């Protein structure tokens, strides 16, 4: 399992994860691309979490883990990684 920061070219795959889980993707786009982290397994993106930054405040967006990757603690791993990166870029809350 590999966890990494997402880049804009991951946007289609991120949206696919959210759509497959019946979660909204209406406000996810290149113009407003939140800080996302992805988990990958075997070349497939299996989980994602995102945060919108508003000054020194971060708003956790949605968290999604595909059914095939559930039960492995990926949600916690992704949130921990996201929080660490948020702190590094000046998010305090």
What is the C-alpha separation between 47 and 58, in angstroms, rounded? 20
Fold assignment, 2-88: Aminopeptidase (3.40.630)
| Structural contact between residues 20 and 66, judged by C-beta atoms closer than 8 angstroms | yes
Q: Where are the beta strands (DSSP E) in the chain?
A: 2-5, 35-41, 44-54, 57-65
Q: What is the pLDDT of residues 5-29, one digit of tens each?
A: 999 899 999 999 999 999 988 878 7
Q: What is the pLDDT of residues 43-77, one digit of tens each?
A: 899 999 999 888 899 988 889 999 999 999 999 99
Going by C-beta distance under 8 Å and a sequence separation of 6 or more, which residues neighbour residue 20? 64, 66
Domain ranges of the chain: 2-88
Q: Tell me the three state secondary structure of residue 13.
A: helix
């Amino acid at each position: 399992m590999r966890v990494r920061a997402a880049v804009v070219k991951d946007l289609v795959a991120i949206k696919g994860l959210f759509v497959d889980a019946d979660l909204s993707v209406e406000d996810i786009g290149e113009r407003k691309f939140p800080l996302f982290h992805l988990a990958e397994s075997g070349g497939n993106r299996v989980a994602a979490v995102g945060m919108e930054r508003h000054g020194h405040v971060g708003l956790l967006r949605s968290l999604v883990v595909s059914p095939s990757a559930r039960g492995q603690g990926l949600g916690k791993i992704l949130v921990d990684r996201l929080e660490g990166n948020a702190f590094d870029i000046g998010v305090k809350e």
